[in-house]
Amino acid sequence: MAAASSLLHNLKKSRRKLLILLFSSVLLLALIATVTTLFFSRSSSVSTSHVILHRSCGATRYPSLCLSAISSSPSLLSSISSHRDVILASLNLTASAVHRSVLHVHSLSSAYANLTARERTALADCLDMFHVSLDELRRTANDLRVLPVATKDHPRPLPADPEILVSAAMSNQESCLDGFSHDQLDRRLRGSLIAELTHVMHMCSNALGMIKGLPGRAGVHRRKAMGLGVDKEGWPEWMGEEDRRRMAAEEVAADAVVAGDGTGDYSTVGEAVAAAPSKSQKRYVIRIKAGTYAENVEVPKKKTNIMFVGDGRETTVITGSRNVVDGSTTFRSATLAVVGEGFLARGLRIENTAGPSKHQAVALRVGADFSAFYDCDILGYQDTLYIHSLRQFFRGCLIQAEAAEFTPGSFIAGSSWLEATGFPYSLGLSS
């Protein structure tokens, strides 16, 4: 009896061990299956990301840079599931490169104790343009994120703003380098910056190539999409009715008045611009009474939707004489420099009187998107009009420079780049 009881006990014990072993085996098999699934799923995901990356980078001018830059960042690579994701990753890396350039320029300012005045100005120019570039890249990424999904079967028109903004960011890098091209001393700083700024320009070029490959680009009317369309009344299609009225009306209600004789709110144009609201969504009109205003005026990026209304192109004059020979950069020599979006001007003269012996001496520099000039004189000798980036419109304006260098006809005929910048070269220039 005792033997039978012992045998039964051993059988139960063996059975329990067997059940535990079977349960453990099932758990192990489940774990192996899970790990295997995750491995192959991840491998498939990585493989898919690589396929998309290679296809997207194949449309760029610098495919090796496109591939290596994104592949070197596992987090960016794993985020790729579409062509748009590759563009966003490229923009992210481009912005990081611009940030590094900002730090480098700050370090150069500290490292050299004997910088010339022009070198310090050129470094400041670069910092301004880098910060503008970062904003343009950020806006491009935001625009791309909110675009409706388009496919080859169901394309949706893609706004041209991303192309315009990335082109402007690329122009800023070139303009930065131009500031160190005037003499041998300047070139020591150019040499330390050229590699990294060339890298940024190549990254911007790649982003442009991929943006053009987005579904929805084909069939878009290029001039209309880029904001270059002009209506039958001769105004840009992006200009609203109120602004069209302001540009043509004899009287325009002013928010501020500038008068050199003290009869206005301000005695200089620069003071009026400084007092204008920042990031305004409404039109802010500054009337500039007849007189000669000897000053260099800048409308910075934060001063949006400002309008200058003069008393006439022969009586309201903003004049300056900054030039490269006397130590300025071309970029900073402008008598009037406009960066704030939505700027309008009518009925005034902008001039740089430095003369031909002073080389580059800009009267008007424009990097303001959706800006327009009507019934204005823009006078100088060399580099009179510096259309830096983005979209501008000129109508009924006289643009005067050295006869050998500039005529409206040669300007139009020889400027294939104008469509990219937004200059409506089919009209608006007076000879």
* pLDDT reading at 155 higher than 80: no
- Report the alpha-carbon distance of residue 37 to residue 46 in Å, rounded: 14
Burial (CB count <10 Å: 0-12, 13-18, 19+), residue 429: buried
What pLDDT score was predicted for residue 362?
Answer: 93
166-199 pLDDT, tens digit per residue, is 999 999 999 999 888 776 666 778 888 999 999 9
What pLDDT score was predicted for residue 53?
Answer: 84
Does some domain include residue 308? yes
Beta-bridge partners for 393:
372
Does some domain include residue 307? yes
Q: What is the DSSP string of 14-32?
A: HHHHHHHHHHHHHHHHHHH
Tokens of 259: 């008068």
* pLDDT reading at 41 higher than 60: no
Q: Are 239 and 372 in contact (CB under 8 A)?
A: yes
Which residue, of 192, 218, 244, is where some domain finishes? Answer: 218
What does the DSSP 8-state code read for residue 295?
A: S
- Alpha carbon 140 to chain centroid, angstroms: 8
Angle in degrees, 0-180, between the axes of helices 83-111 and 117-145, rounded to the nearest 10: 160
Same domain, 388 and 284: yes
Same domain, 328 and 394: yes
What does the DSSP 8-state code read for residue 67?
A: H
What pLDDT score was predicted for residue 28?
Answer: 56
- Report the alpha-carbon distance of residue 339 to residue 365 in Å, rounded: 9
Place of tokens 């991303």: 162
* pLDDT reading at 14 higher than 70: no
Same domain, 196 and 337: no
Does some domain include residue 33? no
Same domain, 185 and 241: no
114-144 pLDDT, tens digit per residue, is 888 888 999 999 999 999 999 999 999 998 8
Which residue, of 218, 247, 273, is where some domain finishes? Answer: 218
Place of tokens 């209304």: 309
Does some domain include residue 30? no
Same domain, 140 and 262: no
Same domain, 269 and 128: no
Same domain, 184 and 307: no
More confident residue, 419 or 178: 178
Does some domain include residue 18? no
- CATH number, position 367: 2.160.20.10
Q: What confidence category does residue 314 fall into, taking pLDDT thresholds of 50, 70 and 90? A: very high
Same domain, 202 and 251: no
Same domain, 333 and 423: yes
Does some domain include residue 53? no
- CATH number, position 116: 1.20.140.40
Does some domain include residue 314? yes
* pLDDT reading at 154 higher than 90: no
Does some domain include residue 15? no
* pLDDT reading at 318 higher than 70: yes
| Amino acid of residue 348 | L
Instruction: Identify the weakest region by mean pLDDT among 2-6, 129-133, 179-183, 325-329.
Output: 2-6
Longest dimension (CA), the chain: 129
Burial (CB count <10 Å: 0-12, 13-18, 19+), residue 326: middle
Same domain, 287 and 312: yes
Average pLDDT over residues 419-431: 38
Q: For residue 88, what are the domain limits? A: 63-218
Same domain, 249 and 156: no
The number of distinct structural domains making up the chain is 2
- Report the alpha-carbon distance of residue 317 to residue 315 in Å, rounded: 6
Angle in degrees, 0-180, between the axes of helices 2-57 and 83-111, rounded to the nearest 10: 70
Same domain, 325 and 381: yes
| Amino acid of residue 102 | V
Which residue, of 218, 246, 273, is where some domain finishes? Answer: 218
* pLDDT reading at 260 higher than 50: yes
Place of tokens 């310090």: 120
Average pLDDT over residues 218-244: 68
